[in-house]
Amino acid sequence: MPYNPERNELSAEKKSLVLVIILFLDLILISSQIILRNKHSLLQTIIANMITPVQLTIQKSSDFVSSELDRYFFLRNVFKKYQLLKKKQIDLKIENYALKKQIRELNVPKGVQGKFAHFITATVIAVDVNFPYSSLMIDRGLHAGLAENDVVLNSDAELVGKIVAPLTAFSASVRLITSSIGGTGAYIEGNMLEGLIKGNDGPDCHFQYLLAGKTVLLGAQVITSGTDLIYPNYLPLGRVTQIEQDYLTQKILVRPYFVDKPLKKLVVLTHE
Amino acid sequence: MNNRFRNIFFLAMLVGQVAIAKYYQSLRLNVDLLYLVIFYVATKSGFMKSVISASVIGLCSDYLSGGIMGVFSFSRTLAAYLLNIIARFLDLKKNIFVFLLILLSLFLSNVVAFIFYALIFKYRVTTSLLIYQPFFTALIGTVILGLKKVKSLLDVS
């Protein structure tokens, strides 16, 4: 049986390629029937191992793209929104400030409204138990702009006293006009007789240096004169409650208005 | 005439193999008649025909043997490739060469199949696959292809 070659013989490379392809197909067929321990065929496992990285890459890429898209859509108008919110915040701040101002104005005592340009409201936080007519403490201090010798009134704009040391950031001492220390220049409102009001750590004050010949009516109103350069003039102070004639002068007792009123809210006239 | 006889020959081999596969248990005859077809095609035809036909016939052998599909296809393809190359250098007019070529090529082909069956699929393979089958197949092949009448009809000389 001699060899009878074909006319169109293939090249060695093509022959090898055909042989390899046929053998490869056979191997694929065989591998599809080899069952591994994971109960999958070898072919399935090979395909899975080949596809899994591609699948993972595609999945990761799609996750990345979708998250970036989400971020983009989420952040797309964020600057505009930020500016709108900032504007809203500023509006709210202004509104808040206006409301606070309204509340402040509502809390301002009626007697003080319109009379003074610069004042601060304060609350009494402590009273000296031993000398209740000497001094007390309020809840405002240096932080609120208070200074020594600031005038303190009650809610009806009647004289109470002045700020004295010690002053802290959030508290201050008030020396009452009924204190035995210091004095207040005052007029009898009816005839403008001037004298010095001095306290004695009690509820009443003495009107000193008023000559005996001058007529003073019981119940006359006493106001500040402003000559002590501490208190402004024409602030209501109290009423004459008792008059006694002395050798050259009159002994007049004055009852300050604030003594008979509750001392809770005070008004401090700050420096202008 | 030759073509018709060739087709009859191929058909006879196929029918014979089917019969052997069907009655293998009772006959205890282990012969691969389809391998004779592969041998004939590989020695007579070119590379493409021999390799492709070997692959297809191998699949038929897999089906008939009831084993793993692809194993005999793989081994028979290699055998056809080997036969296609070696046949050029042998004088196949002498029956001893036909016998030896069939015997050795089928043995090598079965060794390849044995590797798959024994090592991968853990099958228990008997000596019939490696020794008896190549021997009987080579014997029958030499008888069939060595006859002068057959040679003339098949146009193999």
ipTM of the shown complex: 0.81
Question: Do A257 and A196 share a structural domain?
Answer: yes
Q: Residue range B59-82: average pLDDT? A: 89
Judge if A55 and A67 occupy the same domain: yes
Residues of B in contact with A2 (CB under 8 A): 91-93, 157
Confidence tier at A2 by pLDDT (50, 70, 90): very low
Q: Give the confidence band of A116 by pLDDT, cuts at 50, 70, 90.
A: confident
Query: Which of A231-235, A253-257, B88-92 is the most confident on average?
Result: A253-257
Residue A197 belongs to some domain of the structure: yes
> Could you list the residue range(s) of the whole structural domain that residue A60 is in?
25-73
Residues forming a β-bridge with A176: A161
Decide if B142 touches A, using CB distance below 8 A: no
Residue reference for tokens 């600031």? A150
Q: Does pLDDT of A238 surpass 60?
A: yes
For residue B156, pLDDT over 60 is answered with no
- Give DSSP secondary structure letters for A190-224: TTTEEEEEEE-SSS-EEEES-BTTS---TT-EEEE
pLDDT number for residue A3: 47
Q: B157: nearest CA in chain A?
A: A1
Nearest partner of B64 among B78, B76, B50, B52, judged by Cα? B76
A30 and A100, same domain (yes or no): no
**Mean pLDDT in residue range A224-250:** 88
Residue at which a domain ends, from A60, A89, A107: A107
Residues A66, A42: one domain? yes
Give the residue with greater pLDDT, A262 vs A2: A262
> pLDDT value at position B155?
54
Residue A57's SS3 state is helix
Domain membership flag for residue A188: yes
**In chain A, pLDDT over 90 holds for what percent of residues?**
46
Q: Integer distance in angstroms from the first to the last C-alpha of chain B? A: 15
Mean pLDDT of the residues in chain B: 83
- A138 and A122 Cβ atoms separated by less than 8 Å: yes
Q: Quick check: is A34 in a domain?
A: yes
How sure is the predictor about A79, in pLDDT bands with cuts at 50, 70 and 90? confident
CA distances, B87 to each of A16, A224, B40, B47, B128 (Å): 18, 143, 10, 12, 26
- At residue B13's C-alpha, the angle toward residues A3 and A23, to 5°, is 65
> How far apart (Å, rounded) are the C-alpha atoms in residues A172 and A149?
11
User: In the beta sheet, which residues pair with residue A255?
Assistant: A239
Say if A115 falls within a structural domain: no
pLDDT at residue A138 is higher than 90: yes
| Residues A257 and A188 placed together within one structural domain of the fold | yes
Instruction: Pick B70's closest partner by Cβ from A3, A4, A30.
Output: A30
Instruction: Please tell me the distance from the alpha carbon of residue B22 to that of residue B9, in angstroms, as a whole number.
Output: 20
Which residues in chain A have Cβ-Cβ distances shorter than 8 Å to B121? Answer: 34
User: Does residue A270 form part of some domain?
Assistant: no
- Give the predicted TM-score (pTM) of the model: 0.49
pLDDT band, very low/low/confident/very high, at A124 (cuts 50, 70, 90):
very high
The whole-angstrom distance between B5's CA and the closest CA on chain A is: 17
Peptide linkage before A166 cis (omega within 30 of 0): yes
Distance CA A225, CA A150 (A): 16
| pLDDT given for residue A108 in this prediction | 65
**Among the three residues A86, A107, A128, which one is the final residue of a domain in this structure?**
A107
Alpha helical stretches, state H, B1-147: 2-22, 24-27, 33-44, 47-65, 71-86, 95-114, 127, 133-146
Give mean pLDDT, residues A45-71: 92
Bigger pLDDT: B78 or B25? B78
CB-based contact A216:A188 (threshold 8 Å): yes
Task: Choose among A184, A185, A255, A248: nearest CA to A218.
Answer: A255
| Residue B71 neighbours by CB distance under 10 Å | 27
Q: Tens digits of per-residue pLDDT, A193-209?
A: 888 999 999 999 998 87
Band of pLDDT at residue B152, cut at 50, 70 and 90: low
A136 backbone dihedrals φ, ψ, rounded to 5°: -150, 175
Q: Which long-range CB contacts under 8 A does A141-146 form with residues at least 24 apart? A: A141/A167, A141/A168, A141/A169, A141/A170, A141/A171, A141/A172, A142/A167, A142/A168, A142/A169, A142/A172, A143/A169, A143/A170, A144/A120, A144/A170, A145/A120, A145/A270, A146/A120, A146/A172, A146/A268, A146/A270
| Among A202, A218, A207, A188, CA closest to A250 | A207
Say if residue A258 is exposed, middle or buried (CB neighbours under 10 Å; 0-12, 13-18, 19+): buried
Number of domains in chain A: 3
Q: Pick the more confident residue, A179 or A102.
A: A179
Q: How confident is the model at residue A214 (pLDDT cuts 50, 70, 90)?
A: confident
Report if residue A61 sits inside a domain: yes
Q: Which of A105-114, A150-159, A243-252, B92-101 has the lowest mean pLDDT?
A: A105-114
Is residue A54 one of the residues assigned to a domain? yes
Select the residue of A1, A5, A22 nearest B157 (Cβ to Cβ): A1
Average pLDDT over residues A139-158: 90
- Residue A115 binned pLDDT confidence (cut-offs 50, 70, 90): confident
Residue A173 lies in a domain: no
Does residue A205 sit in the same domain as residue A232? yes
Question: Nearest to residue A222, comparing CAs of A233, A212, A211?
Answer: A233
B51 chain-A contacts, CB cut-off 8 A: 18-19, 22
Look at B87 and A1 and tell me if their CB atoms are within 8 Å: yes
Give yes or no for residue A101 having a pLDDT over 50. yes
Cβ contact B47–A18 (<8 Å): yes
Query: Mean pLDDT over residues B39-61, rounded?
Result: 90
Residues of A with CB under 8 A from a CB of B: 1-6, 9-10, 15, 18-19, 22-23, 25-30, 33-34
Task: Work out the average pLDDT over A153-158.
Answer: 88
pLDDT the model gives residue A262: 86
- Per-residue pLDDT averaged across A82-94, rounded? 95
Q: Read off the CATH number of the domain in which A235 is found.
A: 2.40.10.350
* Residue B92 to residue A1, Cβ atoms within 8 A: yes
CA distance A262 to A255: 15
State the average pLDDT for chain A.
Answer: 87
Which of A58, A85, A107 is at the close of a domain? A107
pLDDT tier, A264 (very low <50, low <70, confident <90, very high otherwise): confident
Q: Are B21 and B130 in contact (CB under 8 A)?
A: no
pLDDT of amino acid B25:
65
CB contact under 8 A, B52 and A22: yes
CB of B49 closer than 8 Å to CB of B41: yes
B26-40 pLDDT, tens digit each: 666 678 889 999 998
CA distance B80 to B47: 9
